[in-house]
Amino acid sequence: MTLAIETPRKSRVDTLLGDIGIGQVLLAVALLLYPAIASDFFLTQIGGYSLIWGMIALSLMMLAGYGGMVSLAQITVAGLAGYMVAIFGENNSNVHGFGWPWWVVVPIAVFVAGIASALIGAISARTDGIYTIMITLAIATAMYYFTQQNYALFNGFPGFTGIRAPDFLGIYWRDPMPFYYLCLGVAVVAYAAVLYCARSTFGLALQALRDNPRRMRALGFHVTQHKIVTYFYAGLIAGLAGVLLVWFNGRISPGTIGVGAAINVLIIAVIGGMRHPIGPFLGALVVVLMQTFAIDIVGAERFNTLIGLFFLAIVFISPDGLLGLWGKLKPHLRQESLRSGP
Amino acid sequence: MSVLDQQTAGAGITKRQGWGIAALLFAAVMAWLIFAIWPDWLNDILISKKAFVSSIFNGITLAGLYFLVASGFTLVFGLMRNVNLAHGSLYLVGAYIGYEVTRLTGYWLLGVAAGFLVLALIGVVLQVTVFRRLEGDDLRQTLVTIGISIVAADLMLWMWTGATYQITTPEWLDGAVKLPIITAFRSNGDAVYINYPFYRLVVLGVAIVIGIGLWLLLNKTRVGMMIRAGVDDRAMLAASGVNVHAVFAIVFAIGAGLAGFAGVVGGSALSVAPGEDVRYLLASLVVVIVGGMGSITGAAIGALLIGLAEQIGLVYFPTYGIVLTFVIMVVTLAIRPQGIMGKSL
C-alpha cells in the first residue's frame, strides 16, 4: 500500500465524480437509457439475464479476487435462495408454497443463502488455494445430487414451477422494463457494496490475508473467521441474484444448480477478469451473448465446445480475462495516438 | 512422546493398544455379522442379512473401482500440484474407447489394454502440450482442466450421443459365484448361500493387484523414488539432475492410463453414459479429500469409506445416501483438513 497523498480540496461534486470515475458515470447513463433502444427480448434475455449471472459471478469474484478463495459453490448458494423463494412463497407444484408475502420471503431467502455460504466457507476456509476448488466443487455436486434425490424438502427431480415475481406498487416486476430496472438496481447495489468493501478496512485486511496469511495471523487477525465472514457477504450477493434468477425463470430444479452451472459461474468470472468488480458483469454479458447467438454460428448442440475453447483461449492468453486484455492493450493504444501526430 | 507413553502405560493400556483392541472388536463384530446366521431381531433392524451382506460387498467392489480412478488423480496431484478436473472425462473417454475396441475386435482384454494405452498417450500429450506451459501456476492449470473437461464432454456427446452403452464382458467373466456365507436355512434344512457376480469380485481383485503394484512402483523402484522425491520437493529433485519433465510425463501417463483402465473396467460392470464423468470426478474428489492428497494408501482408505458409505446408504437411507458421503467428507475436514493420510498443509 502506498500512502494516500493529500490532494487539494475540490468542490464536493468534483471529488464525488473523481471518486466514482467518469467511465462509470457514462456506463450508468448508458445502462439507464438502454431500455429506450432495446426490444423486450434484449431487455430481459440479454440485459436482465447478464446482470443476474454477473451478480453470481461477482460473489465469486469477491471471494476469489480479494480473498483468493475460488469457490465453485456460489451457484449452490444462489440456488438455495431460489428454493427458499419457492418454498416460502408461492409455487404451483403443490409442495410447500407457504404463500408468504415477498417482503418476508426475500429477506429469509437471502439470509439463508448467506448462512449457507458461511457454512461452506467454514468447511473449506481452513484449506486454501486449489484445495478450496476441490472441496467446493464436491459440495456443489453433492448438493445437486441431494436436491435431485430429496422429495421432502426440494421436491426432487422436477423441483418447483410457477414461481411468480411480486406485484408491487401496481407494477408486475417480471414485465420486461421493470425487471430490467430491478436487476440493474440490485446489481448496482451489489457492485457498489463490493467496491466499498474492497476499500474498507475489512476488504484491505482480506486482500492482505490473501497475499500473506501467516503475517496477518501474526498481526493478530483471525484469518479463518475473516474468510468465513467474507463468504457470508458473498452469499448475500449470490442469494439476491438467486432470488432474481428464480423470478426470471419462474421455476427451479436441480438442473439450475448442477455442475454445469457451477462451472459456468467460474467461466464467467474468469472470462471477465477477477481484478475488478466490473469483470464478472463483462464476462456475463459476453457469455450470455455467445449463448444466445452461438446457435446461428455453430448450432445449439455444439455451444459448449465453443464456450470451452473460448475459455481455454482466455486462460492461455490473458490470465486476468478480458479486463486484463484491455489493461494490456490500453498502453499500446495510448502510444499509438501519440505517434499518429501530424 | 515416550514419557507420555510410559505414563499412560502405567495407567493401563497405551493409545495404540486401545486402537488395536477397538479394531479387533470391530473386525470380530463384522465377521460375526457376515458369517453367522442372524437372529430375527437383527433381521428386523437391518432389513435382511442378504441386503446387508450384498451392500457390504457392493461397497467394497465399488471401492475398488473408485480406488482405480482416484489413485491416478491423487498421484498426479501429489507430484504436480495439478488438480486435474478433467479426470472424470479421462475415465469416460477410456470407457468409450474400450467399448469401441471390444465391439470391433470382439476381445474384451484388447479393449482394456486400449483403454489404458490410449489414455496414457493422451495424458502424455496433455502434459507436454498444455500443462508444461503453465507450470507453477496451479490455478490456471486447474482452469485449463475445467475447459478441457467441458470441451471433451461436449465432443463425446456429439460422437456417442446420449445413449447408454454396456461393454460386453467375455463369458469366462460372467456368472455368479456361490460365497460361503449362509443367510438362512430352508425348512428342509438346506442352507441358502449368497450368490455374487464373479465379475465384480474380479474388479476388486484387479484393484488390489494394481494397488500393490503402485505401492511397489513407488517404494521399490528408481522411478518411484524420483516420484516420491518430487512430491516432497520438486525443486530439489530438479536440482539433483533428474529430468523432472520426464518424471511428470510418466506420472501423468500412469494417472491418465489408470483412469482409462478404470473406465473400461467400470463401464463393463456398470454402464457408459454421459454424466458418468461428473460422477467419477466427484468420487475421486471426495476420495482424495478424505484420504489425503497425494497418498496412495489414503486413496485406498478413502475409496473404501466412500464406496461402503454409498452402497450402505443406498440400501438403508435411499434419499439421504449422498448426505452420508458428504458427512464423511465434512467430518474429515473438520478433524484433519489434510485428509486421513495427508501430510500437513
- DSSP, collapsed to helix, strand or coil, labels residue B191 as strand
Say if A266 is an interface residue toward chain B (CB within 8 Å).
yes
CA-based nearest residue in chain B for residue A312: B147
Say if B225 is an interface residue toward chain A (CB within 8 Å).
no
Q: Residue B107 CA to chain centroid, in angstroms?
A: 25
The alpha-helical segments, DSSP class H, found in B36-86 are: 40-45, 49-80
How many CB atoms lie under 10 A from the CB of residue B204?
18
Contact across the interface for B155 and A305, Cβ inside 8 Å: yes
Contact across the interface for A315 and B143, Cβ inside 8 Å: yes
Residues 95-134 of chain B whose Cβ lies under 8 A from any Cβ of chain A = 133
- The pair phi, psi for residue B294, each rounded to 5°, is 85, 5
Residues B274-289: b if buried by 16+ CB within 10 A, e if exposed: bebbbbbbbbbbbbbb
Residue of B5, B261, B317, B308 lying closest to B108 (CA atoms): B261
Average pLDDT, chain B: 81
pLDDT of residue A3: 46
Q: Using CB atoms, which residue from B285, B322, B330 is nearest to A123?
A: B330
Contact across the interface for B151 and A127, Cβ inside 8 Å: no
Q: Give, to the nearest 10 degrees, the angle between helix A49-61 and helix A176-199.
A: 20
Rounded Cα–Cα distance for residues B284 and A1 (Å): 41
Say if A150 is an interface residue toward chain B (CB within 8 Å).
yes
Question: Could you tell me the fold of the domain covering A40-339?
Answer: ABC transporter involved in vitamin B12 uptake, BtuC (1.10.3470)
Say if A315 is an interface residue toward chain B (CB within 8 Å).
yes
CA-based nearest residue in chain B for residue A128: B345
In chain B, the percentage of residues whose pLDDT exceeds 90 is: 5
Residue of B336, B323, B306 lying closest to B58 (CA atoms): B306
The single residue listed with the C-alpha cell 448508458 is A30
Among A83-97, A185-199, B34-48, the range of highest mean pLDDT: A185-199
Say if B330 is an interface residue toward chain A (CB within 8 Å).
yes
Q: What is the ipTM of this complex?
A: 0.76
What digits encode the pLDDT tens for the residues B111-164?
Answer: 888 989 999 999 899 888 888 887 777 778 888 888 888 888 888 888 888 788
DSSP string over A93-140: SSS------HHHHHHHHHHHHHHHHHHHHHHHTTS-THHHHHHHHHHH
Contact B330, A123 (CB under 8 A): yes
- Is residue B189 over pLDDT 70? no
Q: For the residues A281-286, what does the mean pLDDT come to? A: 86
pTM beyond cutoff 0.90: no
Higher pLDDT, B145 or A172: B145
- Is residue A146 over pLDDT 70? yes
What digits encode the pLDDT tens for the residues A214-263?
Answer: 888 888 888 888 889 989 999 999 999 998 888 888 888 888 888 888 88
pLDDT of residue B1: 45
